[in-house]
Structure 1
Amino acid sequence: MEQHEGNASRPADDGWWSGRLHELWSVADRTQDVTGLADLLYDMLLHMPGVLAVVGTRWSGGLLHYLRGVTRSEPTPSYVELEREYGESTAPGARHGAHDSGPDGGPDGGPAVTVHEMAELDGDLPHVRFLAAAGVRGVAECTVPLGQGGRVSFMVGTADVSAIDGTLRTRLRQVAEVTVVSDRRIMVRRQNELRQVSDAFLAEASLQMDSSLDVEKTVRRVARTAVPAVAEGCVLHLRLPDGLTPVAFAHMDAGEQQWLGEVADGDPWLTRVLERVVDGGQGVVLKGEELVGGPFGPASSGAGRAVRALSVNPLMARGRTLGTLTFLYHRVDMAEDASRFLADLAARAALAVDTSTLYEQRRRHVVSLQRHLLPRELPRIPGLTLSSAYEVGDVSLDVGGDFYDAVPTARGGVTLLIGDVCGRGAEAAALTGLARHTLRTLIEDGSTPEHALGRLNEALVREGTSRFVTALLAVLVPGGAGFHLRYWSAGHPAPLLRRADGTVEELTAHGDLLGVLDTVEYGSDTARVEPGDALVLFTDGVTEARAADGTFYESGLRTAVARQGAGGGDGFAERLARAVVEFRAAGADDIAVLVAQAGVAA
């Protein structure tokens, strides 16, 4: 190798070039991106005889992403990011100079080299200006295709077109061929890696999205899971009565969260894009000139300048378009690589959102129906404070069979009733309505509790149902400073009496289930309810609630009643029901609680 000073060193023979080319192949085999070849490739071309400058550009259609260049006076590569649209007719490969090396560039059909006079080139293009500043008069250009429809162009500048001989053209073609082969190898490797990562990500995303039937939690998990694993930003819009509405968004930079939320909520350009996707039912990837006019891309301001591509996929499930899933990218190739994967992710997200939405709708319907099976409000009874609570517990969202009511009686008293129909669903709901309204109507008409329970049993037996019913009626009659209590039980859990001093007693209650035998016997007893005392009635959803360690709530029920009753009669039932819900990790039965506390004005 002939030695020269600094950047003027020149190869003496082909041995120098062969060694460098072998080195380039070795680097190409290891690199993760074709830009990893840049330093060595540019150095090789710059050391060719007569070469003044080398510049490379990366294109997608007419969009110029960046240029990288070296000159004799400045051999360290300079890099300029542009992301500017110049049009297809201006892009490399669309023009040919007077000195073409041939239609296919060589006998093996490799990359073609085109030779230009500088005067033939558009002086407004940044890479042409770069060459002109280095004193270039002749240019050898070789353009090679890359994955996802992109291409890279290498331009070697000399002091005169005559300096571009066969050797230079051949060597330019050789480095271009290395780039092509390296890019293909990288594409195959990247596709394999992307497929593995995508499969793993989709599996994890599905688990995350399916782990909740709450709509709000589901959509937040979609956004949170995707950033930054998939893209730099994510926005999920749903079609609500007021139109497309952002319901979740995430950005890898916490400082840009507010910006992304504002853009998602009201940017007209983005709204038009989303509506186009919803109307067409097809996902889109926007980049380059397609981002002009919006809040993204180099032409925008603020955080949006870093965005190089935008993908929008419709959320479609069960034949309906629910909304859109939008991702922001800082690299165009990431958006293009992930297009099929994103469609799959959007489909899974749509199904999860739709399932959560349907679940929420059904939950509201069940709760509404359940409320219609319960009294709208409790009566005001002098000397008593009544409170009630109901918690739906079944994850399958079938209507439960718990019920309660309070019926004012003569002499300022009240009859409390509570019960539970075995099972869930439509039949249980029908029997719940039958049980509650039968007992209430009979009590209002003056029937005794024994007679009311007997009539209900007859009605249930006549229905021929396979379900049984438990019930408990408690009559409170004013007497002295407090109330006289008498109660009747038909297989229902025994009530508790919390005394004013905080002690808790269980009132004995036995009796046969309703709806099983033609003739039943009821357990009955009496007690005294003094001022400050509270009578607590509940269904077995309270006693059978279980903690994660298998402990039943029944074991700590007396303690809970003592503690929750310390807050007074107002809200006593709600506090107790909430404590049960917080305790249970298992047990899907509904919870009904009815409390009457004496000595507190209604």
Structure 2
Amino acid sequence: MATRGQWRMRFPPAADAPRRARGLLRRELTAAGLDEFDELAETVVLLASELCDNAVLHAGTEFEIELEAAPDVVTVAVSDHGAGPLEQHLTQPRQRFGRAAEHGRGLLLVQRMATTWGTRHDADGTHTVWFTLHRDAPERRPAPAAPEPAVGGSAPTWPQPDQVRWLLHVPNRVGDRLDTTTLVAELARRLREILTPEGVDGVAGVEGVAVEVDHGDGTGLRQLTRDGRDPDTQVSPDRVLDVALPLTAPQRGRLRIAIGPGDRPAPSLTEIAELAAHRIALAVESDWLRGADLRRRSWMTYLADTSQLLGQSLDVELTVTVIPQIVVPRLGAWCAVHLLGPARELTLAALTHADEATIPELRAALDPAPGGALPDALRAQLAKLTDAGAATTATTEPAWVSGPTDGIAVPLVADGRPIGVLSVGRPADRPHAPEDVVLVTDVARRSALAIDNAQRTARHVATSQALQQALLPRALPTAEGVEFAAEYLPASIGSDVGGDFYDVITLAPGHWLAAIGDVCGKGAAAAARTGLVRDVLRVLARDGRPLTSALELLNDVMTEAHDPSQFCTLAAAEVRRRATGGLLVDLVLAGHERPVLVRGRHGAAELVGTYGTALGLVNRVQLTHTRLHLAPGDALLAYTDGVTERRDADEFYGADRLLEAVAAIGGTSAAQLVGGVRASVEAFSRAERRDDIALLAVAATERGAQSPSRSPSVSR
């Protein structure tokens, strides 16, 4: 039949009371049939130790332990007369470091590891925390042999193997449920107990054990845990034994043991401390490796997200604005991007701060413009990083800066040339760790590529727009009895110059050539072919050739290139002013869309002209001449296929919808006709334009009415 033991004892609020309580608790558990290597017994001692530490550190009153133990179930209650966790939180601020930072850890461990647990507050102010543990598995290790008592005045054999075994061994199922700080605290408690032998005269006991660790993150050595007196502040330095923790770089640490008064230290003190240091280092190293793996995965995800965000836009301003938002607060308290201008002068392009209220002050401190508050030392560092020779491997390392706050500055280098600097201020609670520097450097590299791509795209777009403008007439002719209006809308997607164009030139007083066309393809090749078509057509028309003959010769010029992929559709019209009023229009279509003729008197709209062969495909083309008479108020609208092929999902704008729009606009001016059709096409779909749109209108006006001076419109 299993034995059941009951035990109760009261302890004063002394620093060594938890250690004494642990020893007595293990003795009673052994008496109840649980040896000290039993997993159930080790868990009970661990949880009870945490609650005793809480009673001494935070309640500051005497405390009482009650134990009811059997081989398979143990109940422990720890009572004190201090305030509970809620009262502690309300009456005094939490300390960030030191033993006070462990307040509440005991309850967390009890909640995590106990089978059942609870708290009780009695009317007399007694505060009790109790827990019950049941054995998960009945298997137990054999009890170790008891140490042999000392004979006479001889010193006992110490430490015994079982004591060392107990010092180093924490069951896996218990250790896996403890965080590193708790596990190291338990090892420190065990070390202190072993190094304080009882009943041995003249042997100096251990009054305190502390573990300090530097994780290589720039914060330096920090106390991970302490049991008993603080070796740093409460013990004379000559009574402190320091043992280095065998940690892998960049970590380092030490085990500090405060030796109490006595004639001689405990036997094998240094050897036992070194064994404990190895066991503690193993726990710290394992936790650091697990954390490093998690951090590595987190950073890989972070960098992947960074690349995705930077790749979503080719707009320079938007790309630069995103970079500080990516960096802060993950890698620092503030971030600024300086870019080199055309004259290699630095400009502040973007910045942000974790505290938005300080952004104006930060902007003033980092602005390199004349009159700005940028410190001279920082200005010199930024200039050095963006020097023309700073693209070499040796000079692209981050530079440490000290203003406006400590941080690092990394050159932005793309294609072997510096384009700016990324500056990142240190986090609020620590300096930059080496890992942070590596990540900032990686973000700077990705940012430089994104900025360079956006800048290249911006230059390409500017060149394309300048080239497109050069292919369009600077101004449309103005004359009595006629009005010309045009509009060009480039495709929203892509930056290459399109092949759509229009042109209106004066051949003689009262005689004009109006043309609109679409050259196959985009980019420089299409632009060159567009310029060829426009210029050849101008020369042939001014030479007085009939329109059909001029287009046939233009076809000959285009086919000489032997490139059937560079063909062109064209609608050309000779416009003459009639003496009796109105206009005479001779229209020829070379594979182009049929124009719309709108009669101003009744608003009727119809497609006119006869389809012909596109230019540049075959040697001989079929072209048909169509003559139209435009009375005052009538208008002729020519357009490219970007109008009729405008899509909304699976539906096209189409010729029928175009006729309805023109008829609704009626006999208005040429400018109103072009503007109305453009508005109708744009309203048809909110999707981005995938093809260029060109519109050209010729309207007959009353004699004596001077058409307004008008420049062609290019919209984006």
Q: TM-score when scaled to structure 1?
A: 0.70
Q: State how 1:490-509 maps to structure 2 within 5 Å.
A: 490-497=590-597, 505-509=605-609
CA deviation after TM superposition for structure 1 residue 435, in Å: 1.4
| Equivalent-residue separation in structure 2 for 1:595 and 1:208 (angstroms) | 44
1:53–1:158 CA contact under 8 A, matched in 2 = no
Pair 1:445–1:318, CA change in 2 (3 A) = same
| Equivalent-residue separation in structure 2 for 1:159 and 1:501 (angstroms) | 115
CA deviation after TM superposition for structure 1 residue 505, in Å: 1.9
- Which amino acid counterpart does residue 317 of structure 1 have in structure 2? A
- Which amino acid counterpart does residue 590 of structure 1 have in structure 2? D
Pair 1:295–1:463, CA change in 2 (3 A) = closer
| Residue equivalent to 2:486 | 388
Which of 450, 456, 462 lines up with 2:548 in the alignment? Answer: 450
| Equivalent-residue separation in structure 2 for 1:294 and 1:229 (angstroms) | 20
SS in 2 for 1:7: coil
| Residue equivalent to 1:265 | 367
- Which amino acid counterpart does residue 460 of structure 1 have in structure 2? M
| Equivalent-residue separation in structure 1 for 2:308 and 2:665 (angstroms) | 38
Question: Are 1:595 and 2:704 an aligned pair?
Answer: no
| Residue equivalent to 1:526 | 628
Pair 1:563–1:229, CA change in 2 (3 A) = farther
CA deviation after TM superposition for structure 1 residue 406, in Å: 0.9
| Equivalent-residue separation in structure 1 for 2:178 and 2:603 (angstroms) | 77
Comparing both structures, which one devotes a greater share of its residues to helix? 1
1:53–1:136 CA contact under 8 A, matched in 2 = no
Pair 1:147–1:371, CA change in 2 (3 A) = farther
CA deviation after TM superposition for structure 1 residue 475, in Å: 3.8
- Which amino acid counterpart does residue 216 of structure 1 have in structure 2? E
Pair 1:64–1:193, CA change in 2 (3 A) = closer
2:596–2:608 CA contact under 8 A, matched in 1 = no
Larger gyration radius, structure 1 or structure 2: 2
Pair 1:482–1:173, CA change in 2 (3 A) = farther
- Which amino acid counterpart does residue 296 of structure 1 have in structure 2? T
Question: Are 1:295 and 2:404 an aligned pair?
Answer: yes
Which of 408, 432, 444 lines up with 2:530 in the alignment? Answer: 432
Q: TM-score when scaled to structure 2?
A: 0.60
Pair 1:571–1:174, CA change in 2 (3 A) = farther
SS in 2 for 1:316: strand
2:581–2:631 CA contact under 8 A, matched in 1 = no
Per-residue Cα deviation, 1:269-306 (whole angstroms, up to 9, x for no partner): 444444444426556567xxx55x42224xxxxxxxxx
| Equivalent-residue separation in structure 2 for 1:477 and 1:25 (angstroms) | 100
2:212–2:225 CA contact under 8 A, matched in 1 = yes
| Equivalent-residue separation in structure 2 for 1:41 and 1:149 (angstroms) | 23
Question: Are 1:545 and 2:646 an aligned pair?
Answer: yes
Q: State how 1:273-284 maps to structure 2 within 5 Å.
A: 273-278=381-386, 279=390, 281=393, 284=397
| Residue equivalent to 1:337 | 435
1:485–1:529 CA contact under 8 A, matched in 2 = no
| Equivalent-residue separation in structure 1 for 2:598 and 2:221 (angstroms) | 77
- Which amino acid counterpart does residue 211 of structure 1 have in structure 2? Q
Higher mean C-alpha displacement, 401-410 vs 44-53 = 44-53
1:138–1:161 CA contact under 8 A, matched in 2 = no
Question: Are 1:554 and 2:662 an aligned pair?
Answer: no
| Equivalent-residue separation in structure 2 for 1:565 and 1:295 (angstroms) | 66
SS in 2 for 1:220: helix
Which of 461, 469, 472 lines up with 2:568 in the alignment? Answer: 469
Question: Are 1:5 and 2:12 an aligned pair?
Answer: yes
How many residue pairs get aligned? The number is 528
Which of 315, 319, 323 lines up with 1:214 in the alignment? Answer: 315
SS in 1 for 2:498: coil
Higher mean C-alpha displacement, 482-491 vs 58-67 = 58-67
| Equivalent-residue separation in structure 1 for 2:518 and 2:466 (angstroms) | 18
CA deviation after TM superposition for structure 1 residue 542, in Å: 2.6
| Residue equivalent to 1:324 | 421
Question: Are 1:364 and 2:462 an aligned pair?
Answer: yes
| Equivalent-residue separation in structure 2 for 1:5 and 1:444 (angstroms) | 115
2:188–2:226 CA contact under 8 A, matched in 1 = yes
| Equivalent-residue separation in structure 2 for 1:153 and 1:588 (angstroms) | 68
1:148–1:337 CA contact under 8 A, matched in 2 = no
| Residue equivalent to 2:350 | 248
2:585–2:629 CA contact under 8 A, matched in 1 = yes
1:231–1:328 CA contact under 8 A, matched in 2 = yes
1:3–1:9 CA contact under 8 A, matched in 2 = no
Pair 1:184–1:485, CA change in 2 (3 A) = same
Pair 1:469–1:62, CA change in 2 (3 A) = closer
| Equivalent-residue separation in structure 2 for 1:213 and 1:61 (angstroms) | 36
2:603–2:666 CA contact under 8 A, matched in 1 = no
SS in 1 for 2:367: helix
Pair 1:360–1:413, CA change in 2 (3 A) = same
1:388–1:594 CA contact under 8 A, matched in 2 = yes
1:136–1:159 CA contact under 8 A, matched in 2 = no
Question: Are 1:51 and 2:233 an aligned pair?
Answer: no
1:373–1:433 CA contact under 8 A, matched in 2 = yes
1:235–1:249 CA contact under 8 A, matched in 2 = yes
Per-residue Cα deviation, 1:426-455 (whole angstroms, up to 9, x for no partner): 443333222111222333344443333233
CA deviation after TM superposition for structure 1 residue 352, in Å: 2.8
Pair 1:601–1:181, CA change in 2 (3 A) = same
2:411–2:422 CA contact under 8 A, matched in 1 = yes
SS in 1 for 2:650: coil
1:498–1:504 CA contact under 8 A, matched in 2 = yes
2:245–2:281 CA contact under 8 A, matched in 1 = yes
| Equivalent-residue separation in structure 2 for 1:146 and 1:259 (angstroms) | 43
SS in 2 for 1:405: strand
1:416–1:473 CA contact under 8 A, matched in 2 = yes
| Residue equivalent to 1:488 | 588
Q: State how 1:172-251 maps to structure 2 within 5 Å.
A: 176-228=277-329, 231-241=332-342, 242-251=344-353
| Equivalent-residue separation in structure 2 for 1:571 and 1:328 (angstroms) | 57
Question: Are 1:415 and 2:524 an aligned pair?
Answer: no
2:582–2:700 CA contact under 8 A, matched in 1 = yes
Higher mean C-alpha displacement, 165-174 vs 410-419 = 165-174
| Residue equivalent to 2:71 | none
SS in 2 for 1:8: coil
| Equivalent-residue separation in structure 1 for 2:253 and 2:594 (angstroms) | 83
Higher mean C-alpha displacement, 570-579 vs 383-392 = 570-579
Pair 1:463–1:23, CA change in 2 (3 A) = closer
- Which amino acid counterpart does residue 591 of structure 1 have in structure 2? I
| Equivalent-residue separation in structure 1 for 2:215 and 2:296 (angstroms) | 26
SS in 2 for 1:400: coil
Pair 1:597–1:329, CA change in 2 (3 A) = farther
| Equivalent-residue separation in structure 2 for 1:26 and 1:587 (angstroms) | 65
| Residue equivalent to 1:406 | 504
Pair 1:246–1:30, CA change in 2 (3 A) = farther
| Residue equivalent to 1:119 | none
| Equivalent-residue separation in structure 2 for 1:536 and 1:35 (angstroms) | 82
| Equivalent-residue separation in structure 2 for 1:45 and 1:561 (angstroms) | 95
Higher mean C-alpha displacement, 15-24 vs 221-230 = 15-24
1:544–1:587 CA contact under 8 A, matched in 2 = no
SS in 2 for 1:183: helix
